Amino acid sequence: MHKPDAMLLKRARANAEAAGYPLARRLQRRRVVLVTGASVGLGLALARRLIAEQTQQQYHIILTSRESSLARFEEQGIDASETLWIRSLDVTDANQRCDLVSEIDGKLGGVDILINNAGVAYRSCVEHVTEPERLHQMNINFRSPLELIRCVLPGMRARRSGKIINISSVGGMMAMPTMSVYSASKFALEGASEALYYELKPWNVSVTLVQPRFMRSDAFAKVPYTVMSAKALSDCSDPYHEHYYHMERFIAKMMNRALATPDSVAKKVARIARSKSPPLRVYGSLDAVAFAWLRCILPRRFYTWLLYRNLPKVRHWGQR
């Protein structure tokens, strides 16, 4: 055996032992991909992509959704198999997160690619979000993905390989009125992921943020409002009524006209999963690239003035 091979084998054995998984099984194992929120929208499109590439890429796929949504997989013709697990996971539940990762560590030798996709987007102005609502938003979009990352990291570091893909948003680089807590959660995810990118480089673990703008889907129809923002939307005399009324229509129009679809974004995510060294940020659509450039090249004051002037019917806002 050549010296470098012997060294590689020694390192592989050490890594396997560190991961508590028998070496022989580790050397032939499939790459384990874990996707959160996979029963609908982008997560479902991604599930389909990964399944299509499964044989070629030698993936072991684990699709998760909350217990109440598990039936959707069968409705979509996605059936569990030896190399395709379907598991219930409410990302905000610490026990469910730990149990799932322990099961994967024990039976499959760990997660190789973690895709934090599950997310929710509250529509509300800052004045209309209570602390519990704010925590709920932050829990799903920011705190839980980070906790899941913390669960899979010891294994990835021990194996000296892994990929973390966090689905962010253009809302994580520019904020829009009535989407304050959503933007806050995605800005937080962006900040933590950027730090993590540098922290994990020494172990050959990559971190990538995917930033879609709007995707052509009906997701706007199921956007949750906070208790106070829902009242403001239905009450024409509320001082914020025009904010919600016009933004709701504007966002629905943008989503109907969006170039990006869950499938086109899923294609990009699947490419990141295959890539040897993915970058920190990947734009989910062409308009996301355009907004990133505008933010870079325009003087800050002009940029915020321009955005404000272009808000839908902004002249009427706050007139009551």
Ligand X SMILES: NC(=O)c1ccc[n+]([C@@H]2O[C@H](COP(=O)([O-])OP(=O)(O)OC[C@H]3O[C@@H](n4cnc5c(N)ncnc54)[C@H](OP(=O)(O)O)[C@@H]3O)[C@@H](O)[C@H]2O)c1
**Residues designated as active site:** 168, 182, 186
Q: Is residue 302 classed exposed, middle or buried when 0-12, 13-18 and 19+ CB atoms within 10 A define those classes? A: exposed
Strand 84-88 relative to strand 113-116: parallel, antiparallel, unpaired?
A: unpaired
CB of 122 to ligand X, least distance (A): 11
Beta bridge partners of 132: none
Token output for 36: 């959160």
CB of 204 to ligand X, least distance (A): 26
CB of 133 to ligand X, least distance (A): 14
For ligand X, give the closer residue by CB, 41 or 312: 41
Q: Which residues make up the interface to ligand X (CB under 6 A)?
A: 36-37, 39-43, 65-66, 69, 89-92, 117-121, 140, 167, 169, 212, 214-215, 217, 219, 255, 262
Closest to 167 (Cα-Cα) out of 281, 40, 33: 281
For ligand X, give the closer residue by CB, 121 or 232: 121
For ligand X, give the closer residue by CB, 197 or 283: 283
- Dihedral Cα 181, 220, 169, 299, nearest 10 deg: -80
CB of 178 to ligand X, least distance (A): 15
For ligand X, give the closer residue by CB, 108 or 165: 165
CB of 183 to ligand X, least distance (A): 11
For ligand X, give the closer residue by CB, 225 or 317: 225
